[in-house]
Amino acid sequence: MGKEYNMQEIIKAIEEASIKIKHLIETGDTGKSEQENSTGDTQLKLDIASDEIIEDIFKTIPSIKAIVSEEQESIVPLNEDGEYLIAYDPLDGSSLVDVNLSVGSIYGIYKNEFNAQNIIASVYVVFGPRVEMVVTTDDVKMYRLLNGKFEFIQNLELQEKGKLNAPGSTQNCWAPFHKQLIDDIFNDGYRLRYSGGMVPDLHQILLKGGGLFSYPGTTDRPKGKLRQLFEVFPFALTYEKANGGAVDGFKRALEVETTHIHDTTPCFFGSKTEINRVLEVYAKNV
Ligand code: AHM
Ligand code: MG
């Protein structure tokens, strides 16, 4: 069995999990559980149930060496001879389900070690009015769930410069230069598009030609909120392969060092023009 086959098998597993998660989102209880995840967030019953769906399916795949979930404390070893390591956020933005906004799942596929240097592919799934899956390997391909099957729709690519601005985190905790950057971008005519779900927000920027999504370090969270392995690196790979970029303010997000599986990092994703603008402003404000 070749490597291509193994990757296909993982994508099929993600498709199968996504069909079950779609049903869970539509019918499941949106209430809180009594547990916290390792970042200290109270887990929703939906977080735990979607995590179990994915883990049960991944456990059946021999090419997976180990998995780690945003909802679990530590790495779960699966097959000693397996080739792939998968880090996933089973239901990102789960607190938006009760107000019927879009949410998503994010998967980073790694080899050897869980870190940016070893990410080889990523997948995210958007659960909105439609279910769409975006697979990044050497390029970025979008699929849509139609009549129970994921059908290829199109390749995704960013334009050099976009029109949308998605500024995350708590504004009164922003550094003054960051606030100035965001104000300047709006003053240049960019439109605000921020739902509070990074999967639909980043999907919108990718599909509508480009722009900037930012989740900076703040006075209350100097290392930002978004997790490196489960959220930042998978989308960084997607944005780079789609002809855009992803940085932590100073360097490529895919050069950020990971010391712990639940580490977070400030992050910016966008088209090349907006990413260069972030780098210029941040370089002057170290
Ligand atoms: P979660 O993994 O606990 O669901 O949190 C991640 C979400 C992202 O989807 C989103 O971009 C961000 O948190 C929103 O945070 P904020 O409300 O601070 O802007
Ligand atoms: Mg998340």
63, 147, 196, 256 from 259: Cα distances, Å: 25, 43, 27, 10
Ligand 1 binding pocket (C-beta < 6 A) is 41, 89, 92-94, 168-169, 196-198, 225
Q: Which residues surround ligand 2, an ion (CB under 5 A)?
A: 89, 92
Confidence category of residue 140, pLDDT binned at 50, 70, 90? very high
* Ligand 1 pocket mutation pick from 50, 101, 225, 265 by most atoms within 8 angstroms of CB: 225
Is the same domain home to 129 and 224? no
* Distance of CA 187 from the midpoint of ligand 2 (Å): 30
Q: Report the binding-site residues for Mg(2+).
A: 70, 89, 91-92, 231
- CATH number, domain of 279, equals 3.40.190.80
Q: State whether 76 and 149 are in the same domain.
A: yes
Q: Which atom of ligand 1 is nearest to the CA of 89?
A: 2
* Shared domain check, 127 and 25: yes
User: Average pLDDT for residues 223-251, to the nearest whole number?
Assistant: 98
Task: Compute the distance from residue 194 Cα to the ligand 2 centre, in Å.
Answer: 15
Confidence at residue 36, expressed as pLDDT on a 0 to 100 scale:
87
254 and 208 within one domain: yes
How far apart are the CA of 104 and the centre of ligand 2, in A? 9
Confidence tier at 4 by pLDDT (50, 70, 90): confident
Residue 2 above 80 pLDDT? no
Which residue's alpha carbon is nearest to atom 14 within ligand 1? Answer: 196
Q: What is the mean pLDDT of residues 48-58?
A: 98
Query: Do 243 and 190 share a domain, yes or no?
Result: yes
Looking at ligand 1, which atom is closest to the CA of residue 95? 4
What is this structure's pTM?
A: 0.97
Residue 8: band (very low, low, confident or very high) from pLDDT cuts 50, 70, 90: very high
Closest residue by Cα to atom 4, ligand 1, is 93
Let me know if residue 2 belongs to a domain: no
Query: In terms of residue numbers, what domain contains 14?
Result: 7-155
Q: What is the mean pLDDT of residues 52-57?
A: 98
Atom of ligand 1 nearest to the CA of 201: 11
Domains in the chain, number: 2
For ligand 1, atom 17: residue with the closest CA: 196
Q: What percent of the chain has pLDDT over 90?
A: 94
Cβ atoms of residues 256 and 116 within 8 Å: yes
Residue 199 lies in a domain: yes
Ligand lying nearest the CA atom of residue 228? 2
Domain assignment of residue 1, yes or no: no
Span 98-131, pLDDT tens digits: 999 999 999 999 999 999 999 999 999 999 999 9
Q: Shortest CA distance to 70 belongs to which of 195, 177, 225? A: 225
* Ligand located closest to 199 CA: 1
Query: pLDDT (tens digit, 9 = 90+) per residue, 56-107?
Result: 999 999 999 999 999 999 999 999 999 999 999 999 999 999 999 999 999 9
Distance between Cα 103 and ligand 1 center (Å): 10
Average pLDDT of the chain? Answer: 96
Reported as a pLDDT band with limits 50, 70 and 90, residue 260 is: very high
Q: What residue numbers does the annotated binding site for substrate cover?
A: 92-95, 194, 225
Find the ligand nearest to 231 CA.
2
| Residues 21 and 151 occupy one common structural domain | yes
Flag whether 101 is in a domain.
yes
Q: Which of 155, 178, 204 is the last residue of a domain?
A: 155
pLDDT band at 1 (very low <50, low <70, confident <90, very high): low
